[in-house]
Amino acid sequence: MKPYLSKKYQKFKRDELTLLIEPDSGKWFFSKDEGLSLLELCDGEKDLNEILDIFSSTCDGDPEAKKKDVEVFIKSLESSGILGDVKPNKIPRFTEFYVKNAWLHLTDECNLRCKYCYRDSAEAFDNELSIEEQKGIIDQVKELGHEETDQWIVFTGGEPLLKSEMLWELASYAKEKGMSCKLVSNGLLIDKEAAKKIKSLFGDVNVSIDGLKDSHDKLRGKGNFDRAMRGIENLIEEDVKFSIGAVMTRENLDDIPNLLKLAKQINAAKVLAAPVWITGRANSELMLSNDEIVASFRKLMSQAEEPSADNVLLEIERFFGAREITKIRPYGCGAGVSLVSFGANGDIYPCVTMHLPAFKAGNIRNDSLKDVWDNSPVFQEFRGFSIDDVPECEKCTWKRFCHGACKLNAYVAHGTIKAPGLYCKAYATLYEDAIWNYGARESKKLNSPPDK
Ligand SMILES: C[S@@+](CC[C@H](N)C(=O)[O-])C[C@H]1O[C@@H](n2cnc3c(N)ncnc32)[C@H](O)[C@@H]1O
Ligand code: SF4
Ligand code: SF4
């Protein structure tokens, strides 16, 4: 076989290193300048021996030792599929779909009126589901799980603790069925009793905190930082593991680094920070620019990596960290693929952020979940989604990592999920950063490609 590096590899140089990435396959590796001149010789015309002879004659040092090094390099590129014809779009897609995460809204009622609430929560719907109907959802979700994969029921709202009796009963029901339970709460109603219940029923609890007192209260209402922190104190007293969820907006962006420090002090398991979704009550005045997102994520990533903050996993790492860039995924997010969300009135949607008329796939009072999951046009659209069908993304270098990112953001920006998201430019920069950061961490292994 004659070694061949596809001309489709794009090159990005920083200092003495070059990142080579092929957008269609998502394959990438780093090379030093010496490796680049070797790769020039991999044109599909010369065999390995010719390449070794030409290359070693141009290098200083012992030619035989050089040949050995070069041979190892070329073989490793061949075995990881980097050398050879590029086979675009051959990422295996799922053929069967299982529910991994089901979001249950117990009520749309809320004791807060946060400025940005994507649910626009305030009063309860007048046709909310009963406990028995919610149990019926849990039964049907269970049926659509995969025996080897954990299933999570996420209890949210509105404020789920306004329906605390229902919450405890449903969580124990799901737990008895072997499912894991997660709670998302504004923290206000977490008293000592609630903290005890949470400890016994939930594998994960996320309390929403958007910064220190001033910025939290600006977004979530006066006095609510102290009230939410009392809830957290009750969790701490009962030794409950908890995470913090923060929404990043124009009004609190500068305070997120302080929140990370607070999270460390109070021993939060992690901080999930995400840019505000522009839907529901969130208006575009709260929206961050792409430059603001890049600047603040860069700051947070370096802060999260400081030894002093090492017990706080900043969840944005999930999207722009080694875990994501070293494996190629067939889908971007789980919406409609492994995730389903139920409104408090039983409406069925592919994602918790997309409770919008265009994405309503059915209602649990009238439809079987299996039928909706298998056959509804909405769910089919999400499963049929391929980034290669999005004209603006098809040629993008980072498309195999990004997959267009959040589909709600694409819909908000362009009225279709087949479009780049609102934060496209930021994501492109952050994926590039993530690969370079990975490269820096793995620099000892340079000139051998990462294990994919
Ligand atoms: C709708 S709330 C329901 C649970 C509970 N009331 C609470 O606030 O935690 C679920 C989560 O979504 C977050 N959230 C609300 N509106 C958002 C938006 N426009 N963009 C991003 N996250 C948002 C909240 O901060 C909260 O962490
Ligand atoms: S974000 Fe949560 S606490 Fe705030 S209004 Fe919405 S449902 Fe209520
Ligand atoms: S949304 Fe932007 S970064 Fe993502 S694949 Fe499309 S063009 Fe690339």
Please write the tens of the pLDDT for every residue from 267-326.
998 888 888 999 999 999 999 999 999 998 888 877 776 655 544 566 665 566 555 666
pLDDT at 100: 96
pLDDT at 451: 42
CA distance 27 to 332: 17
Q: Which two tokens stand for residue 345?
A: 């009135």
Task: Looking at the CA of 161, name the nearest ligand.
Answer: 1
pLDDT at 225: 98
CA of 87 to the centre of ligand 2 (A): 46
CA distance 296 to 302: 10
pLDDT at 321: 58
CA of 406 to the centre of ligand 3 (A): 10
Residue type, position 148, single letter: E
Ligand 3 atom at minimum distance from 390 CA? 6
Nearest CA to ligand 1 atom 27: 208
pLDDT at 143: 97
CA distance 274 to 253: 11
User: Where are the alpha helices (H) located in 266-321, listed in sequence order?
Assistant: 290-305, 317-320
Do the strands 17-22 and 27-32 form a parallel or antiparallel pair, or are they unpaired?
antiparallel
CA of 299 to the centre of ligand 3 (A): 22
- Cβ proximity of 184 and 155 under 8 Å: yes
All residue ranges of the chain with pLDDT < 50 are: 89, 310-311, 444, 446-452
